[in-house]
Structure 1
Amino acid sequence: MSTKGHVGRAFAPGHITGFFEIHDDPLPQKRGSTGCGLVLDGGIETTVSESMGRTEIILDGIPVLAETTRAVVDKLVDFPVRVSCTSSIPIGCGFGASAAGALSVAYALNEAFSLDLTSNQLLETAHIAEVTNGSGMGDVEGQSQGGIPIRLSAGCPPYGKLDRVPSPPFEIFCVVLGELSTGSILEDSAIMREINSAGREALHSLLSRPTLENFMQLSKQFTLRCGLASEHLLDAIESVNAIGGMSSQAMLGDTIFAISGAASKMDIMLSLKEFGDVLTYNVGSCNLLPLDV
C-alpha cells in the first residue's frame, strides 16, 4: 500500500442476500439482520482525494447524492473530498451496492488521510451509515467476510457474529429484471413479520446443513413464502429449476441469481437469456481490498 498526495483507493465486493431476518435496536451498532448471502468478485472501486470546493461523489462518471457514502465521508473527515466510484455491479437491484460504496470509501479515506482506524472501526462507520439511511441492514458485514457469509447475530462488531458456508469457488449467473425499494419494504410491518419468521426458520435449517445447495434451496423457499418476487422473476426461477439449475431472488431486488446445479453453465445462461442480459460473477474469498495508488 502507498499514499501519494493524499489519494486513496479501495475495493469492496457486492453481496447478494438469499434470506434474512431484521433485528431492530435503538443502538445502530446492534441494528441489522441475520441470514446468509454470497459475496461477489464484482463490486465498487473507490478513489478519494482532496477537493478545493465542496465534497462531491461521482459514480461511473455521473455526480450522485449517495447519502450512505456521504454519511461515511461526513463521519470520517471534516474537509471536502472528491469521491470517484466505479461499479461492476448493478445499483439498486439487490447487489449491496450502497454498502460496497460505504465500505470502499471508508477504506479509501483511511488510506488517503492516514486516519489510523482499524477494520472494525471502518466497518462500524459503514454499518451505521447503512442502517441510519435505510439502504441496507446486513450487507456490510457480509462483504467484510467473503465467500458465503452466515450472519449469526445482527450488527457490527463486537455485536455482530459471522460464520461461513465452506465451499470452493463457483460462478453465479444473474439477470436484473427491475428495482425494488428497500426502504418501502422495510417499513411495511406485515411484510416484515412474514420475512422475519421465514428468515429465522431458514437460518436454523441452514445451520443444520451448511452447504451451498441447501442455501440455494432455502433461499428459493424464502422467496416463495415472502411473496416479494414479480411474476417475471418467478417465471425465470421456474425456467432455471426446470433444467436442473438452482435459483432464487436477490434480496431486496427484482433480480434472479442462479448456480448451475445439475445443469451445465451453458444451459443456465441460455435459459436466463430469455429474461435479459446475463451477468456472471465468481464467488470465493472475495474480501475488502485497500488498493495501491
Structure 2
Amino acid sequence: MASKDTVSARAFAPAHITGFFEVHDHTDPVRKGSTGCGIVLNEGVETTVTIGEAIEETVISLNCKHVAGSTSRTVVEMLTDRPVKVESIAHIPIECGLGASGAGALGTAYALNRILSLDLTANKLNEVAHVAEVRNRSGLGDVVAQSLGGAVIRTSPGAPGIGSCDRIPTGKSDVFCIVLGRLPTSSVLGNEEAVKSINTAGKTAMKRLMVRPSIENFMTCARDFSIGTKLANEKITEIIDAVEAAGGMASQAMLGNTVFAIGTNGKDAEIEEILSCFGQVLHYRISPGSIRMI
C-alpha cells in the first residue's frame, strides 16, 4: 500500500497467444511489427506504478522480485524523466508465449498516464508500449491484439493506430495450456534464418485463414505453421497429436515453449484430461475485453 508521501495507480492488461505470424521490418519502430492471428485471454498482468519524493530511482519488480524489466523501463523513459516504482504481478507464465512483456508494458503506460495526468489517448499509450516491445525485441504484435481483445487478425503491421486489424467473431471459448519451459522471444527474432522460415509460413497461413476466418481454421493454420517452421519440437508435436486424437485442436504459442488447445464439439473435458498427462494444465478463456484501470 502506498504511504502518505506516495501515490499509486494500477492497470490490467490481458495475455495474448499468437498462433502464426510474419515479421515486417522497418527503421521506424512505430511501423515495424507483424501480421498474423492470435487470441486474447481473460488473465494477464496487473501493474502498479507509484510516485513520491522518497523514490529516487526507477525500480521494476515482477512477482515481488526486482528485475531489469527492460520493456517496461523503456515505457517509463518514453513518458517521464521522473523516477517511479513499477510493480507487476503476472497471472500468466513469463517468457512462454503469452505476451507477458506486452501486458506489462501496457499496464505501465496506462498507470503512468493516470498517475501523472498525462491525458494521452489509448492509441498513443498503446503505441508507446508497442515501440518499447520492438526496441527490446520482446514482441512485435502482442500489444496490437491486447489493445483490442478477442481473436485478432493483424492484417497490416505497425503500432495500434498505424497497423490494421480485423477479428474473428467468437465467444468466450475455453483455452487450455501446457507450459514446457521458457523461450525468450528475442532468441528467435534475432535469428535471421528462423525469421525467413517464419515469414514464408506466416504468409501462407494468413492466406489460408482469410479464405475461412474461423477459430477452427485458425487452429489448423497455427498447427501447420508451428510444425512447418520446425519451431515445434518433438514434445510439442507429441502433445498436439494427442489432443487431435481426442477430437481437439492444439498448436504452439508463438513464441514460446507452450502448447495451447481448444475443445471442439463439447470435448473440453477430454482435452483437459489428455493435457494433464503432460503436466499442469492452465485454464483460460478467450476474452473480448482489453486493458482497464483497476
TM-score grouping bracket, smaller chain normalisation: over 0.9
* 1:172 positional shift: 0.2
Asked whether the 8 Å contact 1:243–1:263 carries over to 2, the reply is no
* 1:193 positional shift: 1.2
Matches within 5 A, 1:135-214: 135-214=138-217
Partner of residue 220 from structure 1, selected from 223, 234, 238 = 223
Where 2:147 maps in the other structure, the secondary structure is: helix
Tell me which residue corresponds to 1:94. 97
**Number of residue pairs aligned between Structure 1 and Structure 2:** 288
Q: Which moved more, 1:52-61 or 1:171-180?
A: 52-61
Partner of residue 80 from structure 1, selected from 73, 80, 83 = 83
Tell me which residue corresponds to 1:13. 14
Q: Could you tell me which amino acid in structure 1 is paired with residue 101 of structure 2?
A: S
* 1:192 positional shift: 1.2
Counting aligned pairs with the same residue, the percent is: 48
2:67 paired with 1:64: yes
Partner of residue 267 from structure 2, selected from 261, 264, 269 = 264
Counterpart-to-counterpart distance in 2, 1:11 and 1:149: 19
Counterpart-to-counterpart distance in 1, 2:130 and 2:270: 38
Where 2:228 maps in the other structure, the secondary structure is: helix
Structure 2's unaligned 5+ residue stretches are none
Counterpart-to-counterpart distance in 2, 1:79 and 1:68: 17
Q: Which moved more, 1:154-163 or 1:242-251?
A: 154-163
User: Which ranges of 4 or more aligned residues in structure 1 deviate by more than 6 Å?
Assistant: none
Matches within 5 A, 1:24-39: 24-39=25-40
Q: Could you tell me which amino acid in structure 2 is paired with residue 200 of structure 1?
A: K
TM-score (norm 2): 0.95
Tell me which residue corresponds to 1:106. 109
Asked whether the 8 Å contact 1:10–1:107 carries over to 2, the reply is yes
* 1:205 positional shift: 1.4
Where 1:7 maps in the other structure, the secondary structure is: strand
Tell me: CA distance 1:255–1:179, structure 2 relative to 1, closer, same or farther (3 Å). Answer: same
Where 2:119 maps in the other structure, the secondary structure is: coil
Tell me which residue corresponds to 1:45. 46
Counterpart-to-counterpart distance in 2, 1:56 and 1:210: 43
Q: Could you tell me which amino acid in structure 1 is paired with residue 40 of structure 2?
A: V
Counterpart-to-counterpart distance in 1, 2:162 and 2:204: 21
Counterpart-to-counterpart distance in 1, 2:88 and 2:192: 34
Deviations 1:208-253, CA, capped at 9 Å, x for gaps: 2110000001000101100011211111111101110000000001
Counterpart-to-counterpart distance in 2, 1:216 and 1:164: 14
* 1:263 positional shift: 5.6
Deviations 1:79-112, CA, capped at 9 Å, x for gaps: 1111111111100000000000000110011011
Asked whether the 8 Å contact 1:21–1:35 carries over to 2, the reply is yes
Q: Could you tell me which amino acid in structure 1 is paired with residue 9 of structure 2?
A: G
Counterpart-to-counterpart distance in 2, 1:188 and 1:17: 19
Counterpart-to-counterpart distance in 1, 2:160 and 2:90: 27
Where 1:270 maps in the other structure, the secondary structure is: helix
Counterpart-to-counterpart distance in 2, 1:59 and 1:188: 27
Counterpart-to-counterpart distance in 1, 2:160 and 2:172: 26
After superposition, the CA RMSD in angstroms is 1.2
Q: Could you tell me which amino acid in structure 2 is paired with residue 168 of structure 1?
A: G
Q: Could you tell me which amino acid in structure 2 is paired with residue 114 of structure 1?
A: S
Q: Could you tell me which amino acid in structure 2 is paired with residue 14 of structure 1?
A: A
